[in-house]
Amino acid sequence: MSKLSHFNKDGAAHMVDVADKKATRRVAVASGRITMQPETLEKIQSGEHKKGDVLGIARIAGIMASKQTSVLVPLCHQVVLTHVDVGFEVDAAAQYVECKVRAETVDRTGIEIEALCAVQVALLTIYDMCKSVDRGMRIESVQLLYKAGGKSGEFGSY
């Protein structure tokens, strides 16, 4: 395993210095899902949930979360997002909603944490909006699917 970059030579946590890095186009795709009861999923799909457009609100929450990542994650750099796309796919047979986020920037550091944060908050928003009818929902399988750009190159696929 390589040396962890968020610790200095004395072992103290620090924010990595990216001043000498070249700004490059960077892309990250992350996903996750929330499982629920069939009745809950039906309310979301039909648009008949009493709180309104669950996926529409979750989409906005994910975008907002990506823009606030550096506030939430202590050693994360603030990056200028050039694009964020939050999408959902419903699998009624497996009883889940999958969220997939693609985040992009032209900057000196990666965009993976912004994509992962957006997925988590979008799914958490679905939970919040539906908890009155289904407290047994589970957020799971949150992961980075793909990243490109920067010194470490490409990872994964989507």
Amino acid 4: pLDDT:
62
Active-site residue, selected from the candidate residues 10, 17, 85, 128: 128
**Residues lower than pLDDT 50 in the chain:** 1
**Helix, strand or coil for residue 43?**
helix
Cβ count near 101 (within 10 Å) = 28
Number of neighbours of residue 124 by Cβ within 10 angstroms: 16
Task: Find, among 102, 113, 48, the residue nearest to 78 by Cα.
Answer: 113
**pLDDT score recorded for residue 2:** 52
* Residue 128 is among the residues annotated as catalytic for this protein: yes
pLDDT of residue 1: 41
Q: Indicate the pTM of the whole model.
A: 0.89
Domains along the chain?
24-148 (3.30.70.640)
